[in-house]
């Protein structure tokens, strides 16, 4: 597998001076790659700053065309769409661009970005651009708390936001969670603090972010296809700790995150603070007799702890990974100066998002759980560990990961497996090796043929809604035949969704709808 191409460092004196909103951005020649959410926000912002912008994207979908029309209307932006538009770096006014601002999903070895590297054109992500624009005359400068990890990012950033707001602060969750940081920066609200969710892709393209506190929740093999190797993936995740000002929060139960902190170049005086779902040592947060406690941000930490909340405050089902996420969020806000009472209030106020261990139905003694957001083995493991006697719906786009450890660890929980996905052969092989006695229901021949037929059109239009709903309806019907009272039917695919669905949310919604129809159909039959 090709290793990622090195990102060229900023060497232009002009780029080095661009550190505030009020710097001289006028006339700067910028290519923005991608016309999706983050790319549109970057282009729109740069147009407002007076830069000369060209936006490129391979997409020619109606949505991309509409976005292009909007950018042309709001300012002086050229938009180039189609495969040819992303094969080389376009000139701007006949000259080489000063900068490329890339959307996070674009791989470093993509043709245009690789050409930019060879031409020594600096590449920033939208996060790097946002960091350089955060200071603006007449506006409050929001502090940043940054969060990454293979799993749990969105939950933790939501908990962090809720705790900050419970403390009376103007706070917002931004970044990979859905709201672009650039949009929040342009919001007329003067925010005190941003809770920033950062993917490994966004971290790869960031260079100078300096948060007040930062955390890497956990790491496991993921996105190897994008990064080129697991080592490169870890290196990008570790960038979350660079330049941290007050506290680097790490997972005390995973040595990799502690080593990241040890190797990070931080601001003088920055502390290392661990979190654990076990009894905490000094300078850690952890759990004692069902209580979440702090032994890091109190003066008497050598021989006592501050009570923050109870595990019961997390709801009736509090899996271990949810406790860990809550502790990580608590550590971030405690580093920022939030009082213990606000931590508990934030936990109680927090409303979990859909598609993450979401109870869909309890019918005839069977629990139906939607964890479509479990897009890799590490996330699926956390989900499986919360249940016993599981009929597991799994499979999809594997992203080059290995399933052996997942199956070895959780084979004893599996009653049966229902496979979805255009090609779940890697998962199926792991099941044969490590859970040979567990019944496995694979996709039918018709499903596979439909996927192959739809595959050519998918790049342009995505999977058809009718096809996607059929895939999930058949999986739910198979699971219903296998499950009995006391069992849990768990959608935790351990894979990405784009081979058969438009997103993990689409996959989860299809599951919810299929379960609803199943339950209503069975109820109607029993009445008759």
Which residues contribute to the annotated binding site for ATP? 149-155
Angle at 130 between CA 228 and CA 128, to 5 degrees: 30
The backbone torsions φ and ψ at residue 252, rounded to the nearest 5 degrees and listed phi first, read -70, -10
Burial class (CB in 10 A: 0-12, 13-18, 19+), 35: buried
Tokens of residue 52, six digits:
């000369």
Cα 347 to chain center, whole Å? 21
Task: Specify binding-site residues.
Answer: 149-155
Residue 68 to residue 57: CA distance in whole angstroms = 10
* Packed helices 126-133 and 37-48: angle between N→C axes, nearest 10 degrees: 40
Residue 85 to residue 483: CA distance in whole angstroms = 51
Tokens of residue 65, six digits:
């065309």
Strand pairing report for 390-394 and 291-294 = unpaired
Cβ neighbours for 134, distance < 8 A, ≥ 6 positions apart: 20, 21, 141, 142, 144, 185
Rg, the chain, Cα only: 24
Residue 240 to residue 209: CA distance in whole angstroms = 8
The DSSP call for residue 448 is: H
Q: Of all helices (H) and strands (E), which one includes residue 30?
A: strand 29-33
DSSP string, 203-237: HHT------SEEEE----S--HHHHSSHHHHHHHH
Q: Of all helices (H) and strands (E), which one includes residue 57?
A: strand 52-57
The DSSP call for residue 92 is: B
Residue 382 to residue 202: CA distance in whole angstroms = 24
Q: Which residues pair with 163 in a beta bridge?
A: none
Q: In angstroms, what CA-CA distances link 143 with 63, 135, 182, 260, 325?
A: 34, 10, 14, 22, 21
CA neighbor of 401 nearest in space, from 432, 384, 377, 425: 377
Cβ neighbours for 125, distance < 8 A, ≥ 6 positions apart: 101, 102, 103, 104, 201, 202, 204, 205, 206
């Amino acid at each position: 597998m090709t290793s990622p191409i090195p990102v060229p460092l900023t060497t232009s004196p002009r780029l080095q001076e661009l550190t505030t909103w009020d710097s001289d951005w006028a006339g700067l020649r910028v290519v923005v790659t991608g016309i999706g959410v983050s790319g549109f926000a970057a282009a729109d912002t740069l147009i407002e700053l007076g830069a000369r912008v060209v936006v490129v994207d391979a997409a020619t979908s109606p949505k991309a065309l509409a976005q292009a029309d909007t950018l042309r209307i709001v300012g002086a932006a050229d938009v180039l769409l189609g495969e040819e538009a992303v094969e080389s770096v376009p000139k701007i006014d006949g000259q080489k661009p000063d900068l490329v601002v890339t959307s996070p999903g674009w791989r470093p070895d993509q043709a245009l970005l690789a050409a930019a590297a060879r031409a020594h054109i600096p590449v920033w992500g939208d996060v790097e651009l946002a960091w350089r624009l955060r200071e603006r005359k007449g506006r409050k400068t929001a502090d940043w708390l940054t969060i990454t990890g293979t799993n749990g990012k969105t939950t933790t950033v939501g908990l962090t936001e809720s705790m900050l707001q419970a403390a009376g602060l103007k706070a917002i969750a931004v970044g990979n969670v859905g709201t672009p940081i650039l949009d929040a920066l342009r919001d007329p609200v003067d925010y005190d603090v941003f809770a920033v969710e950062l993917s490994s892709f966004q971290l790869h393209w960031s260079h100078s972010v300096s948060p007040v506190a930062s955390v890497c929740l956990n790491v496991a093999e993921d996105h190897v296809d994008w990064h080129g190797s697991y080592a490169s993936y870890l290196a990008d995740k570790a960038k979350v700790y660079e330049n941290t000002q007050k506290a680097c929060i790490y997972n005390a139960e995973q040595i990799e995150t502690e080593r990241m902190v040890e190797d990070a170049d931080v601001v003088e005086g920055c502390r290392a603070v661990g979190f654990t779902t076990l009894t905490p040592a000094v300078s850690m947060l952890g759990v004692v007799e069902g209580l979440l406690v702090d032994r890091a941000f109190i003066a008497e930490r050598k021989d006592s702890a501050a009570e923050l909340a109870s595990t019961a405050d997390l709801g009736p089902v509090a899996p271990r990974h949810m406790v860990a996420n809550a502790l990580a969020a608590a550590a971030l806000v405690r580093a920022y100066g939030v009082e213990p009472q606000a931590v508990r209030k934030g936990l109680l106020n927090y409303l979990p998002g859909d598609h993450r261990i979401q109870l869909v139905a309890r019918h005839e003694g069977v629990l139906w759980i939607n964890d479509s957001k479990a897009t890799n083995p590490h996330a699926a493991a956390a989900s499986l560990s919360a249940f016993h006697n599981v009929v597991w719906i799994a499979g999809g786009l594997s992203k080059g990961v290995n399933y052996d450890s997942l199956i070895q660890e959780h084979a004893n929980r599996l009653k049966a497996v229902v496979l979805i996905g255009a090609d779940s052969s890697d998962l199926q092989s792991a099941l044969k090796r490590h859970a040979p006695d567990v019944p496995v229901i694979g996709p039918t021949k018709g499903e596979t043929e439909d996927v192959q037929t739809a595959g050519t059109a998918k790049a342009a239009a995505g999977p058809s809604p009718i096809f996607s709903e059929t895939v999930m309806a058949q999986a739910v019907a198979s699971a219903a035949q296998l499950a009995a009272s006391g069992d849990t039917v768990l959608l935790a695919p351990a894979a990405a969704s784009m081979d058969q669905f438009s997103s993990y949310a689409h996959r989860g919604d299809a599951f919810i709808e299929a379960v609803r129809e199943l339950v209503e159909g069975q109820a109607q039959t029993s009445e008759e």
